[in-house]
Amino acid sequence: MEARLLLSLPEGFEVTNIERTDGILTISAVSTQKSACCPLCSSAATRVHSSYTRTLADLPCAGQQVLLLLQVRKFFCQVVTCARKIFVERIAPFIEPWAPVTARLHQMVQMIGFATGGMLGARVTERLGTPTCWMTIIRRMMALPTAPVEQVSELGIDDFSFRRGRKFGTILVDMQSHQVIDLLPDRKKETAAAWMSLHPEIDLVSRDRGGDYAAGAREGAPQATQIADRFHMYKNVGEAVELTLARCRAEIRNGAFHTLAEEERKVVEPLSLSTEFVSVENWKPAPDACTERERLPRHAERHDRYAQVIALRGQGFGNTEIARRVGLTARTLQNWQKKGSFPEVGRRRKRASRFDPYASYVLSRWEQGCQNGSQLYREIKEQGYTGQERQVHRFLLPLRKNVRIIQKAQVPHASLQDFSAKDAVWLFVRDPATLDEKAQVTLTAICQASETARTTYQLVQEFRHMLHHREGEKLDDWLAKVTMSHIRELQSFVLGVERDKAAVVAGLTLPQNNGLVEGKVNKLKLIKRMMYGRAEFPLLRQRVLHAL
Ligand SMILES: [Zn+2]
């Protein structure tokens, strides 16, 4: 087989030599075409002036780096009137003039760049046999032109953060084609307005509730109908729900505790009030010695500060003066005062562990009386547990102290002992038909335990229904109900709705409304992670607009 075909070189070349030194395959080739076209007058020329060798990197061959030594010629243009007397034969599109690499290698590096980013791309190209430094990869990515934005009639607009949440930009989505059409480097009203004013064809803008994008759209696209984005309405309602639930956490916990105490007292051993109930899902290991070593001095420091505050207050000092002496903000002191007790630092969040899938099993063995950590470790190891034995012991420690881990199936209500408003929000805002049995049990328990929670749930579900079935005409009724309800968190949501009512009604009525933009924002997050947080705006924009 001819070497030219094997290497997929364009016609008009002949391979004259292949040699391998230091792992690099050097391929020499000469141009054999009889004539070449003058780039200026396009007429064919046959008189050769001279020849020279171009050195180019090419795609790797069977994992080996490839260097192409291409002998190309200069021709005389034979058209007397042509201004170009001598020219180099063109080999485009295989090789662009002046390029140090073949076009196909250029494209491959570009593609790797878009898929992996600069730093990782450098490692990938090295493995593939075309080592390319990350600066070059990024330069290649930036060199790819972006298609101009075409007509857009329905625009979705939202912000996103980059540089680890320190800077914000704007993402623009065509709501009909579901494509990201542009990114803007900030989230200012002026920038958004300027972009929109270049698109007089926009007739609908979907944006978050109120704020800069609303102002930007009024200025840049006054012809467009504005709608409050459904995602943000859900999000704002969710925030109100979280605040409400956090406020009545004690009510929920106590309510559930009484239910538990009445119904389950016979089943569960005698309860002491200091017993902590934790559902098996939220079973956390005891902190390791290292974390504990860090935590204890901090705790001690806080405790000491607290004692100092109490003492100073006893001497009659005001918050401002105490704050200055102790090194805290007056705000913190007010919070402490409100709580009226030593502020415990927030609970550690549950992190996923290899132990989790075996938690239920270990718990039931424990309850059967097998309380030997090493034995339990051996048993679950046989079932496929790949974690360390130490971890098993750490999980058992809370059981040996004053914590009761509860299998949800046994005592569903008890799970509210570690009730978290943040985790419960989704139970409130989602369609109840989509909740699984466990979630429904929890939801029912919360609503049984607290009247505030119950009212909140009804109102939020009415709102969800209205949003889902596009019943904008019911909005006024709903607003009135919330105003009557005395749930202040929802009332402040309602105040926001009143301020932006036209867009909210449009959002509740028009069919173009979903979490589309938000999905795209999640895609951005993915890309940013891949960029190791180095995402400077122009590069990020380039990657998003050229995402594979
Ligand atoms: Zn010419």
Distance 74 CA to ligand 1 centre (A): 12
Contact 222, 434 (CB under 8 A): no
| Selection from 190, 229, 196 nearest residue 212 by Cα | 190
Span from the CA of 93 to the centroid of ligand 1 (angstroms)? 20
Asked whether residue 517 carries a pLDDT value surpassing 90, the answer given is no
Give the mean pLDDT of the chain: 81
CA distance 206 to 154: 8
What are the tens digits of pLDDT across the range 36-66? 899 899 899 999 999 999 999 999 988 889 9
Kindly tell me if the per-residue pLDDT of 521 is higher than 60. Answer: yes
User: Percent of the chain beyond pLDDT 70?
Assistant: 83
Q: Give 338 Cα–ligand 1 centroid separation in angstroms.
A: 88
The residue written with tokens 């046959």 in the block is 46
Cis? peptide before 93, omega within 30° of 0: yes
pLDDT of residue 525: 67
Q: Give the confidence band of 274 by pLDDT, cuts at 50, 70, 90.
A: very low
Q: Is 449 exposed, middle or buried (0-12, 13-18, 19+ CB in 10 A)?
A: buried
Sheet with 204-207: list strands edge to edge.
179-184, 167-174, 154-162, 204-207, 225-228
| Max Cα–Cα distance, the chain, nearest Å | 110
Q: Give the model's pLDDT for residue 272.
A: 38
Question: CB under 8 Å to 103, separation ≥6 — which residues?
Answer: 92, 93, 94, 95, 96
Alpha helix locations (H) across 431-546? Answer: 437-449, 451-468, 475-485, 488-499, 501-509, 516-530, 537-545
Query: pLDDT tens digit string along 233-249?
Result: 888 899 999 988 888 88
Coil, strand, or helix at residue 267?
A: coil
Cα-Cα-Cα-Cα dihedral sign, residues 469, 473, 477, 483: positive
Calculate how far, in angstroms, residue 80's C-alpha sits from the geometric centre of ligand 1.
Answer: 8
Q: Tell me, what's the pLDDT at 512? A: 66
pLDDT at 265 over 60: no
The neighbourhood of ligand 1, an ion, using CB within 5 A, equals 38, 40-41, 77, 79, 82, 84
Which token pair is 61?
């061959």
pLDDT in tens, 63-84: 889 999 999 999 999 998 999 9
- Mean per-residue pLDDT, 444-468: 87
Task: Indicate the DSSP class of residue 94.
Answer: T
CB atoms within 10 A of CB 156: 29
C-alpha 81/C-alpha 78 separation (Å) is 9
C-alpha 9 to ligand 1 mean position (Å): 27
- Mean pLDDT for 529-537 is 59
State the distance from the centre of ligand 1 to the C-alpha of 88, rounded, in angstroms: 11
Overall average pLDDT of the 513-531 stretch: 64
pLDDT in tens, 366-395: 888 888 999 999 999 988 888 889 889 888
Distance 71 CA to ligand 1 centre (A): 22
Ligand 1 center from residue 13 Cα (angstroms):
23
Between residues 417 and 168, which one has the greater pLDDT? 168
Evaluate if residue 132 carries a pLDDT over 70: yes
Mean pLDDT of 462-486: 88
User: How far apart are the CA of 37 and the centre of ligand 1, in A?
Assistant: 8
